[in-house]
Chains A and B, each alone.
Chain A
Amino acid sequence: MDASPPAFRFAAILAVAFLPSLAASDGAGLAGRDLKLPPADSFHPDRQPDASGARPPMPAPTWGGTLTVHTENLPRHLNLALSSSAYGRRVASQVHGWLALYDPMTLEFEPQLAQAVGVLDLITQKTGEPREAYGVVQDLVNEWELLTPSGPVRVRKSEDVIVSKGVVFTFLLREGLRWHDGHPFDAEDVRFSWSIYGNPAVRCDDRRWQHQKIRSCEVLDARTVRFVYSEQYFHAAITVGDLFLLPRHLYDPTDPDHEKADPAFHASRRAQDKNWKPGPKDIADCVNDNVHNREFVGLGPYKIASWTDEVLEVERAPTWKDDARAGHVDRIRWRRIADYGAAFRALIAGEVDLLDAVTTDDYFGSIASSDDFRAKYYTGTHRSQSYWYVGWNTRSPKLADPRVRRAFAHLTDLEGYLTSYYRGLARTMTGPFLPTSPACDPSIQPLAHDAGLAESLLSEAGWIDRDGDGIRDQGGVPLEIEVLVEAKNSATQTFAAKFREDLARGGVRLKVTSLDFSALDQRKTERNFEAVQLGWAMAPEADPEQTWHSRWAPSDKQGGNFVGLADPAVDALIAKGQAELDFDARQRIWHQLQARIMELQPYLFCYAPSRKFAMLRTIRGFQETAVDPNWDLRALYFAPGTPGTRDRLR
């Protein structure tokens, strides 16, 4: 059975209370899954290691205060079922919760609003009377043994008996959870939250494809709900745990409490038709245009206090009972400032306490190194979940040969650029997985900067300068590549200039075309490009199928595989990995996938830049995590002695 969600016997479901991961605040993670997270406050001047290498201890935590955080953008509303923006998710992490999600420190799949998660297998008999049953299925050589509450049942293996492992998820919800308006949270809310994906009038197209893999959802009792997947899927647990929960009494007109909450909705419809009963269209209207999409009612420790175009403020919600994860500060304020230069100025002016988007210029600039600044603030870096790359259109005749793509990688001096441009504040990518992810094999190196090797690869592939103009050619076609770059992004523009020089050394002409994002995206979608410079924001464990499987390669498919990679070995590894439920075994498969993709070079994998932050020195508890935004807001507290703080939660 898989190690990530804990499995236990049917009868013991109600008896087992699962405790969240006990990872120490020093972030070592569980043995065997070292995410290389630094200790808390690793950049704080008062936490620097002394001569013996030991760090001074953290000050005692306090509670209270208002924390103002910078954000580049605010979500339009908080109903993430309708539109899933990264900014929306960051706010929702404080005012709401999920059934289960990745623990930010260990990437273990942990229940959050659920008390426990049970994973069972499904055994189906197709012929005769189709029957199916849930339970833990064990493989005895000639038969399957199904463990049920009433005892083990043996079923002979045959063609019409199918066992799907790990497709049944049973959630036991925590006791006493209430929505911010006081209404209790129960399993019917969960079932309703899933049912909207089957309603075509609800505007939840972003994630519909994922939730449609779930075959059914059943409410067993007020605190228990069960999901069944139609087939084995390694991402099943996180997808179902990630379901965005909506309060039924505010969103479902068929709920008896809805009329009390929103009488006007029912009244207006009854006025038109006396015998009106709420149907799917009404449910969709209620979900799409609900006032609570903004005046959000959630399940988290904070609730919305005020929301303007520039500032979103949340305060403590009295309905949150769990003191351990209640957050230290009393109010959180997200201040939207789109321009990074203006944001830095706002930090210095005291309008923002924590800025997570300091530009390289500001970070190394004279203001940040001045004594005045250092007396009040400190700066540091943390990992980010995104990386950028140059995607090669493998369908283009010039770029179809992997030797040519490998030659381009050998021509580029990635290490040199890393030192001189990023000043070491980025990591070179060695494949499609972030260096900090367990799926990344640390032993795989980027392709060495070796112009001689590159030239011999190109010559081998038949690209030689036959006409003497300095550009390699073959069959009369010169090796000229057009790379599309986003116009306003100075980092990629700079790299493109350097890239052009590097490739010129090997007799390849690079033409840089600067487009704005919408034009670039259109050409990419139409596959009307030779090379394109873009980035990916990675989920903690992403499904590589959309990006690398040949199924998504044809040009009429819109999706992540716009480079058109179609390699049977890659397809096989992806399929194998998707079906592998054991976490460690799956990572080993991803390592093989990484090696194969590096061999094929469908992208020139560039960098995963670190994010640079600056904040008040009085803010303590900054812990880097493995999940976007890569730091934990609830762990932050003001240092003891800051006015407005106290030494107890209540």
Chain B
Amino acid sequence: MRSAVEQRFSASRGARVGLAILAILGLLAAWAPFLASDVPFVLVARDLGTLERARSELVPLAESYERAAREDQAVSRLFADVAALESRIDRLAPAASARDFTALRAALAKTRESNVDRVAVAAELVAAARLTRDALGPGRLVAPRERTFPLLTRLDGFDVLVALAPIGVALALRLRRKLRTTRAVVFAFAPILAVSAVVGVLHVEPRLSAQGSLKRAIARVDVEVESAVFAPIPFGFAETNLSESWRPPTWLSSARVDVDGRSTSASRAYVPSAGRIEANPFEPAIDALHRHVLGTDALGRDIAARVLWGGRRSLAIGAAAAVLLFAIGSVLGVAAGFLGGFVDVVVSRTIEVVLCFPAFFLVLVAVAWTDPDVVPMSLAVVLVIAAVGWTTTARLVRAEALRVAASGHVLAARALGVARVEILFRHVLPNAVGPAIVAFGFAAGGAIGVESSLAFLGLGVDVAFPSWGGLVGSARGADRSWAWIAPGIAVFLAVLAWVLVAEAARAALEPRRAIRSAP
């Protein structure tokens, strides 16, 4: 029977469309870091700024050591300064000759000796540092050419897991032809999990000064670039450009500007705030048609990038809430339906009481009240949606469990003395799975809807990450329809996809009906 249901399901057009949409949205969300990012995949450049900074920090580090020595601070502090000096030397060494560092290295070696007069050694160190700094003056440092992978090093274990997950899903589906479902999933995901774990452990937070301002560093020629490969949308979701705020999609005539960045459109629909737009290197030209495909928001952030990244949050919260909701509802529903008696009474009463609560209001209040330091907002939203939404699933599953429990072969099994637990797992659960999946589909769609409504109202929003509902909420106004149409379409598609899948599952589960002639 399962495979017949599956056949009907996969044959239905709704299911196909729904799954296709989910696949596309999921893929876009999973690969968002590679599609829209303000740092390149590959960067071949000379980092002048870091060298200059290292040079200028030699003397302050030595002076800090001297202060610490004079104040008789702990040895660990002294060695922190020494280690920092050594790392500066390491950084500078490839750019200058070894001679320049002999004095400094000698002084550093002395600090390692025991039974020395620390203050005297410190004074020597300061003098040596001054000497080295002056010797490495302008023009003396030649920065080596380096090849780095900024975008990839920015990913942590979780990002890698999410990015590889679609591949895992595809692999699992493939393997299902040969193996049983559970084994297929395990085989497909085990290597992915391993890779993610490795990346997670090895991951190092990227240097702060390299975050987000790489393009500006390039513009200032702190970094001299030979070549760089950027993502298709070379903008980050959090990258601001106040001179380009509220710019309509650049392919529209109202957003046209000339080469200098001054508006050329006849309508006063878009006027750059400072009179001209400042662009960064490696971005499309200011007057290019594809610069901002969906326009920019109040802070000049690219909306297309934000929609891509917003999917991660919206879809994840929708799925997580649905899973939690589904778990709670199924467990309670099955328990109530199958075990009956006291358990049934308690669960049914609880369902009634929870139903009495004005769901959306409570969600609003709960989310508005969460202290973001104690509970991350995303988690709060998930918990709250699950807490008010599990009742529908529970009812559905309970009804199904009751039906199955009263059916012929279960009664027969009971009569034969088969243990209740075994009946539960062998007969009730597999049959209850179908309607439960239907319930899950609707729950996921509903959760995405609720989450985006919350974000639209400005509640439950994580300041750091965009979310589709939040994008609509911060842009509402007919003046800027382009800013909220796209995220709204995204939400609509996501909910639609889940609803289609759930509908198709429901249709597939029903026994075939005789076709009636029209009355």
Q: Report Cα–Cα, A570/B80, bound state, in Å.
A: 37
CB within 8 Å of A: which of B241-270?
A: 242-243, 245, 268-269
A504 interface neighbour in B53, B211, B240, B274, Cβ under 8 Å: B211
- The answer on a CB contact under 8 Å between A501 and B213 is yes
Is B56 a contact partner of A501 (Cβ separation < 8 A)?
Answer: no
B181-207: CB near A (< 8 Å → 1, else 0) gives 000000000000000000000001111
Asked whether A501 lies within 8 Å of B273 as measured between CB atoms, the reply is no
Asked whether A513 is an interface residue with its Cβ less than 8 Å from the other chain, the reply is: yes
Given A466-B80, A475-B77, A423-B60 contact (CB < 8 Å) = no
Contact indicator B212/A464 (Cβ below 8 Å): no
B488 CB within 8 Å of chain A: no
Which of A364, A367, A505 lies in contact with B213, CB distance below 8 A? A505
Contact between B207 and A470 (Cβ–Cβ < 8 Å)?
yes
A507 within 8 A of B: yes
Are B479 and A366 touching (Cβ within 8 A)?
Answer: yes
The reply to whether B60 and A507 form a contact with Cβ atoms under 8 Å apart is no
Q: Is A465 an interface residue, CB under 8 A from the partner? A: yes
Kindly list chain A residues whose C-beta atoms are within 8 Å of the C-beta of B206: 470
User: Does residue B61 face the partner (Cβ distance < 8 Å to A)?
Assistant: yes
Would you list which residues of chain B between 461 and 503 have a CB under 8 Å from chain A?
463, 477, 479
Nearest B-chain residue to A485, judged by Cβ: B463
Which listed residue, B61, B210, B273, B373, touches A421 by the CB 8 Å rule?
Answer: B273
B279 at the A interface (CB under 8 A): no
Give the complex CA separation of A419 and B210 in angstroms.
26
Q: Does B209 contact A (CB under 8 A)?
A: yes
Indicate which residue in B53, B64, B208 contacts A509 across the interface (CB closer than 8 Å).
B208
Residues of A within 8 A of B302 (CB): none
* Neighbour of A455 across the interface among B56, B80, B207, B238, CB < 8 A: B56
- The contact of B242 among A421, A462, A488, by CB within 8 Å, is A421
Closest Cβ of chain A to B118, distance in Å, is 17
Query: Beyond A504-B209, A507-B208, A509-B208, is A420–B80 a contact (Cβ under 8 Å)?
Result: no
A residues within 8 A CB of B458? 488
Q: Is the CB of A423 within 8 A of B372?
A: no
CB-defined contacts of A504 to chain B, threshold 8 Å = 208-209, 211-213
Decide if A512 touches B463 in the complex (CB within 8 Å): yes
Known: A421-B242, A460-B60, A504-B211. A466 touches B273 (CB 8 A): no
Chain A contacts for B216, CB-based, 8 A: 505
| Chain B residues with CB below 8 A from A323, complex form | none
Q: By the criterion CB–CB under 8 Å, are A469 and B208 in contact?
A: yes
A460-488 vs B, Cβ < 8 Å mask (1 yes, 0 no): 10101111111100111000000000001
Would you call B81 an interface residue if the criterion is a C-beta within 8 Å of the partner chain's C-beta atoms? Answer: yes
CA gap between A460 and B245 in the complex, in Å? 38
Contact across chains for B210 and A365 when beta carbons are under 8 A apart: no
Which of B211, B298, B371 touches A494 (beta carbons < 8 Å)?
B298
Do the beta carbons of A466 and B83 come within 8 Å of each other?
Answer: yes
- Which of A416, A467, A475, A498 counts the most chain B CB atoms within 10 A? A475
Interface residue from B53, B84, B269 paired with A466 (Cβ < 8 Å): B84
Which residues from chain A contact B130 at a C-beta distance below 8 Å? none
Q: Chain B residues near A230: list those with CB within 8 A.
A: none
Which residues does chain B contribute within 8 Å of A416, judged by CB atoms? 242
Tell me, yes or no, whether A514 is within 8 Å of chain B by CB: yes
Look across to chain B and name the residue whose beta carbon is closest to the beta carbon of A458: B60
Residues of the B chain whose Cβ atoms lie less than 8 Å from the Cβ of A505: 209, 213, 216
Question: B299: CB under 8 A from chain A?
Answer: yes
When C-beta atoms are compared, the residue in chain B nearest to A424 turns out to be B274
Is B67 interfacial (CB 8 A cutoff)?
yes
A-side contacts of B271, CB under 8 Å: 364
When the two chains form their complex, are residues B212 and A459 in contact, meaning their CB atoms are under 8 A apart? no
A464 engages B207 (CB within 8 Å): no
A419 touches B60 (CB 8 A): no
Report the minimal beta-carbon distance from A169 to chain B, rounded to whole angstroms. Answer: 51
Q: Does A239 contact B (CB under 8 A)?
A: no
Shortest CB-to-CB span from B471 to chain A, Å, is: 15
Distance in angstroms between the alpha carbons of A388 and B457 in the assembled complex: 27
- Residues 24 to 68 of chain B near chain A (Cβ within 8 Å): 53, 56-57, 60-61, 63-64, 67
**A470 & B210 in contact (Cβ 8 Å cutoff):** yes
Known: A419-B274, A420-B245, A421-B273. A462 touches B60 (CB 8 A): yes
A497 contacts partner chain B, Cβ-Cβ < 8 Å: yes
B60-A514 in contact (CB<8A): no
Interface-centre pick from A366, A455, A488 (highest chain B CB count, 10 A):
A366
Bound Cα distance from A460 to B61, whole angstroms:
9
Instruction: Give the total of A residues in contact with B, Cβ under 8 Å.
Output: 44
Q: How large is the interface on B (under 10, 10 to 19, 20 to 34, 35 or more residues)?
A: 35 or more
A466–B61 Cα distance when bound, in Å, is: 9
* Contact residues in B for A468 (Cβ distance below 8 Å): 87, 207
B242 and A464 contacting across the interface, CB-CB below 8 Å: no
Shortest beta-carbon distance from A164 to chain B in Å: 50
Considering the complex, which residues of chain B in the window 63-87 have a beta carbon less than 8 Å from any beta carbon of chain A?
63-64, 67, 76-77, 80-81, 83-84, 87
Given contacts A469-B205, A504-B209, A505-B209, contact A464 B372 (CB under 8 A): no
A492-523 interface (Cβ within 8 A of B): 493-494, 497-498, 501, 504-507, 509, 512-514, 519
Contact B299 A507 (CB under 8 A): no
Chain A 422-435, CB-CB to B under 8 Å as 1, else 0, gives 01000000000000
Contact with A along B339-364 (1 / 0, CB 8 A): 00000000000000000000000000
B64 touches A464 (CB 8 A): yes
Query: Complex Cα distance A488/B474, Å?
Result: 12
- Name, among B208, B210, B211, the residue most crowded by chain A CB atoms within 10 Å (CB to CB): B208
The residues of B that contact A514 with a CB separation of less than 8 Å are 372, 463
Q: Is A98 an interface residue (CB 8 A)?
A: no
Do A498 and B81 contact each other (CB < 8 Å), given the known contacts A366-B268, A514-B372, A514-B463?
no
- The reply to whether the CB of A254 lies closer than 8 angstroms to some CB of chain B is no
A456 vs B63: C-alpha distance in the bound complex, in angstroms? 13
Shortest distance from the beta carbon of A365 to any chain B beta carbon, whole Å: 6
Interface centre among A419, A465, A469 (most CB of B within 10 A): A465
- Nearest B residue to A416 via CB reads B242
Q: Provide the residues of chain A in CB contact with B274, threshold 8 Å.
A: 419-420, 423
With both beta carbons as reference points, the residue of chain B lying nearest to A473 in the complex is identified as B80
One digit per residue, 1 when the CB lies within 8 angstroms of any chain B CB and 0 when it does not, for chain A 398-435 equals: 00000000000000000011011101000000000000
Expressed in whole angstroms, the Cα–Cα distance for A501 and B271 within the complex equals 25
Most buried by A among B63, B80, B269: B80
In the complex, the answer to whether B269 meets A366 with C-beta atoms within 8 Å is yes
- Cβ of A179 to closest chain B Cβ, rounded Å: 47
Cβ-neighbour of A469 out of B207, B299, B371 (below 8 A): B207
A406, chain B: closest CB distance, angstroms? 16
Contact of B56 among A361, A459, A493 (CB under 8 A): A459
- Cα distance, A122 to B142, chains bound together (Å): 77
Would you mind naming 23 contact pairs between A and B with Cβ atoms under 8 Å apart?
A364-B271, A366-B479, A367-B479, A420-B242, A421-B273, A455-B53, A464-B57, A465-B57, A465-B84, A466-B61, A466-B80, A468-B87, A470-B206, A470-B207, A476-B76, A490-B298, A498-B242, A498-B299, A501-B212, A504-B209, A505-B209, A514-B372, A519-B371
B: which residues have CB within 8 A of A? 53, 56-57, 60-61, 63-64, 67, 76-77, 80-81, 83-84, 87, 204-213, 216, 238, 240, 242-243, 245, 268-269, 271, 273-274, 298-299, 371-373, 458, 463, 477, 479
Q: Which A residues are closer than 8 A to B by beta carbons?
A: 361, 364-367, 369, 416-417, 419-421, 423, 455-456, 459-460, 462, 464-471, 474-476, 488, 490, 493-494, 497-498, 501, 504-507, 509, 512-514, 519
Q: Can you add 14 more A-B contacts, CB < 8 Å, to A420-B274, A462-B60? A: A365-B479, A419-B274, A456-B60, A460-B63, A464-B60, A464-B64, A466-B83, A490-B298, A497-B240, A504-B211, A504-B212, A505-B216, A506-B209, A513-B373
